Amino acid sequence: MEQNAKIFIAGHRGMVGSAIYRKLEKEGFTNLIVRTSAELDLRSQSAVAAFFETEKPDYVFLAAAKVGGIVANNTYRADFLYENLAIQNNVIHQSYLNGVKKLMFLGSSCIYPKMAPQPLKEDYLLTGLLEQTNEPYAIAKIAGIKMCDAYRDQYGCNFISVMPTNLYGYNDNYHPQNSHVLPALIRKFHEAKNNGDKTVTIWGTGSPKREFLFADDLADACFYLMQTYNEPNLINIGTGEDLSIKELALLIKDIVGFEGELAFDETKPDGTPRKLMDVSKLHAQGWKHRVELPEGIKLAYEDFLSKNGSQF
C-alpha cells in the first residue's frame, strides 16, 4: 500500500477495526477513511454505493460485522445472518464497482465444521456440519469468503480473506449477555472480586479448548498480509496454541485477583469442543504472533479498568 493511499476501515470502532486503525497510523498512513454506523449504515445498499462513489478508496479493510458470543449468536439468528450478509455484499460489490485495488475480508474461526480435525486447516472449509449455535454467523462469513473468490475469478479483483481465531484486547465488548468468553470472564471475576463473592460460575464443563489472539497482533498480521498476500481462498490468523476454558478461567482469576472458587454450570452449552487454528500457512508467509496470553490478558484488564472500572 502506498503511503498516501486512501484506506477505508469498515468497522473502525470495534476491537478489530480500531486495532487496524492504530497499526496504520503507527506505520505512517494518514489518509484513513472511517465512518460510524450512524454516519454510514453498511447494511444499506444505496448508502454504501453513494459513499464509495464519493470517496473512491484505494484499499478496504472489511472489519465491520454484527458480532457476539454464544448467547447472542443463538438468540439473534436472523439478525446475524441478514445483517452480516448485507454488510459484506454491499462493501465487496461496491469495492469492485469503484476499482478498489485490494480488499481484505475478515471472517471468523467458526466457519469450520464443528467436528473438523484439529488443528483447523484452511482446506477443511465446507467439509462438515457447522456448530448449531453460531451457524447463521458462520454461513454469512463463508459467503463472504466465496464472494471474494468469485469476484477474483470473474472480475480479477484482488480480494483476500483472513480468518482470525478468538480475539481479545483493547475496545473489547464486556456486555454480560453478548460478549465472548474471555472478556466475559474478565468482567465476571472483576465483579465477583468487588462484591466479595465466594464463587464464580462458568458456563459449561470447562473442558472445551480455545485459542486466543491479541487484537493488536491481528492488526499486525492484517497489515503484513495486505502488503504480501495476494492469493485466493482463505488464510488463518492465530497463535497455533490453545488451552481449556477452565485453564483460561484460572489464568484470568489470578490476573484479576479473585480469591474465591470456580463452579461449572454443566446445564449450559459448551459449544464446539475445540477450535485450534493451523497457522502453518501464515508462518510460511513470514508472520508470527508476539503477545502471549498472560501479557495480553493483563493489557486487556487494564483497558477494561480504564473504561469500565468505575461502573462496577
Q: How far is it, in rounded angstroms, from Cα 114 to Cα 94?
A: 33
CATH topology of domain 7-170+212-240+276-292: Rossmann fold (3.40.50)
Interval 56-115: pLDDT, tens: 999 999 999 987 777 777 888 999 999 999 999 999 999 999 999 999 999 988 899 988
Question: CA–CA separation, 39 vs 13, rounded Å?
Answer: 12
Give 143-182 pLDDT, tens digit per residue. 999 999 999 999 999 999 999 999 999 999 888 777 788 9
| Catalytic residue check, 137 | yes
Residue 142 scores a pLDDT above 70: yes
Name the strand (E) or helix (H) holding 292.
none
CA distance 83 to 300: 28
Domain with CATH 3.40.50.720 in the chain: 7-170+212-240+276-292
Region 289-306: what's the mean pLDDT?
97
243 forms beta bridges with 210
Q: Report the DSSP beta bridge partners of residue 8.
A: 33, 60
Q: Is 167 a known ligand-binding residue? A: yes
- Catalytic-labelled residue, pool 96, 137, 170, 301: 137
SS3 string, 108-175, reads: CHHHCCCCCCCCECHHHCCCCCCCHHHHHHHHHHHHHHHHHHHHHHHHCCCEEEEEECEEECCCCCCC
pLDDT digits (tens, 9 = 90+) for 248-272: 999 999 999 999 999 999 999 887 7
What CATH fold (topology level) applies to the domain 181-207+243-273+302-311?
A: UDP-galactose 4-epimerase; domain 1 (3.90.25)
Contact 122, 236 (CB under 8 A): yes
13 assigned ligand-binding residue:
yes
Report pTM: 0.92
What pLDDT shows up at residue 307? 85
Q: Which residues is 102 bridged to in the sheet? A: 59
16 is in an annotated binding site: yes
Is 12 marked as a binding-site residue?
yes
| pLDDT score at 134 | 87
| pLDDT score recorded for residue 147 | 98
28 labelled ligand-binding:
no
What would the mean pLDDT of 22-46 be, rounded to a whole number? 97
Question: What pLDDT is attached to residue 274?
Answer: 84
**Number of C-beta neighbours around residue 135 at 10 A:** 18
User: In the chain, which residues fall in CATH 3.90.25.10?
Assistant: 181-207+243-273+302-311
Residue 311 has pLDDT above 80, yes or no: no
